[in-house]
Structure 1
């Protein structure tokens, strides 16, 4: 189960970030759920300066972690270390997510580009883009849990996402020593 989000971060000592992305969950039959839209904004403080564009993959290791994306909003508090020069950059973060959908620890992988260096304490608010989900799925009563853990069919518009996930899992199985 993953949340995939692209975030722009800028500042010096105090940084501001904003981003948007998708959450997708692995079902019991090993198929992928339809995607649910999310957005994020936050602030960080520490020894840092510059601007960067980062693609995050947040690994949601349990159903409880997926449920944190069901509520109206959830908060993330953590620490991070980041460096980016042109198209080469990395960020390492650890955080805890808490909201009206529950709480869970998550792992985050990322790739960055820009001109940025720093370490910081940071917090962000992540929200479900309910209006976008309602528009995409054509239902005013749909919520993120219906999308991620329900039995909605996979939308054809997400075929590129499903192909990328299948390619990733195929590469992981191919490189596994077992």
Structure 2
């Protein structure tokens, strides 16, 4: 079977990766994502992150930010990147596909800034091709603060409990290349730009709406 890779330097690659992450969450054999978080969140971050270290860990990755509109639909994506450090009783290395639920407007506003600081507590155990991590965080920017809940699907060998700090930034160059114009993260999620004709973001919307309704992949057949 040919391994599919996603170019994290492009919006198209990050949308494709987000689609794969959500497809895994919809798998009937997967533990999935909590329906109440999907229903109640004000926005969502879908990230792919690499984390390594012993006692002190470093992590870096990229993904997309989506806001939920008042009618329940989803905004266009803004590209983001995350770099961080953690410390505690931890060790190993893992590749994590992370879904972060933004639970209030303050959180969404904080992470829609050019840079938002995320602080949190994480508990994780990963061995070989299976792992789950859970975390709750408080997020800060220059103008707002809020809270998130996150669930990660991990691969590798990693375990422990840590306190983490991470800087989440908008990838302005990626957004500009994708939308063919300069726009802030806030403008993108507020609907001030148009979606490119070739965008695959509708596939992501479909899966997010299925998760919001508590459905699994075997309850929906495309085509």
TM-score by length of 2: 0.72
Question: Unmatched 5+ residue regions in structure 2?
Answer: 1-42, 216-223
Listed one character per residue, the Cα deviations across residues 111-167 of structure 1 (whole Å, up to 9, x for unaligned) are 111011111111111111112111211113x101110013433334442x4323323
Tell me the C-alpha RMSD between the 2 structures.
1.7
SS of match in other structure, 1:37: strand
Q: Distance in 2 between matches of 1:119 and 1:79?
A: 7
* Counterpart position of 1:29: 71
Size of the alignment, in residue pairs? 173
* Structure whose residues are more often strand by fraction: 1
Listed one character per residue, the Cα deviations across residues 51-107 of structure 1 (whole Å, up to 9, x for unaligned) are 001111111123332211222211111111111111100111111110135211111
Specify which of 187, 191, 204 is matched with residue 150 of structure 1.
191
Preserved contact between residue 5 and residue 20 of structure 1 (Cα < 8 Å): yes
Question: Unmatched 5+ residue regions in structure 1?
Answer: none
Specify which of 84, 97, 117 is matched with residue 75 of structure 1.
117
User: In structure 2, do the counterparts of structure 1 residues 97 and 157 end up closer, same or farther at CA, with 3 Å as the change threshold?
Assistant: farther
User: In structure 2, do the counterparts of structure 1 residues 4 and 120 end up closer, same or farther at CA, with 3 Å as the change threshold?
Assistant: same
Listed one character per residue, the Cα deviations across residues 18-69 of structure 1 (whole Å, up to 9, x for unaligned) are 0100001122233321100000111111111110011111111233322112
Map 1:20-99 → 2, pairs under 5 A: 20-99=62-141
Q: Distance in 2 between matches of 1:25 and 1:50?
A: 33
Preserved contact between residue 4 and residue 21 of structure 1 (Cα < 8 Å): yes
